[in-house]
Amino acid sequence: MPDKWPFADPENVAVITLKRILQGGSPILRVFHDEDDGGWQFLQI
């Protein structure tokens, strides 16, 4: 692992996803990066 966080967003930025995606049962079909708060959404819509 790199010594320094290589991304512009902080390490503790919010992420929204679905339980079925986390458990590996469903693919991620859409990814959104919110400009206002830097949060990420990994969804199936």
Query: How far apart, in whole angstroms, are the C-alpha atoms of residue 36 and residue 43?
Result: 19
Query: How far apart, in whole angstroms, are the C-alpha atoms of residue 1 and residue 34?
Result: 26
Query: How far apart, in whole angstroms, are the C-alpha atoms of residue 12 and residue 23?
Result: 21
User: What's the token pair of residue 12?
Assistant: 């503790």
pTM of the model as a whole: 0.71
Determine the pLDDT at residue 27.
95
**Span 1-45, pLDDT tens digits:** 568 888 888 889 999 999 999 999 899 999 999 988 889 999 997
Determine the pLDDT at residue 1.
59
Residue ranges per structural domain of the chain = 1-45
Determine the pLDDT at residue 2.
66
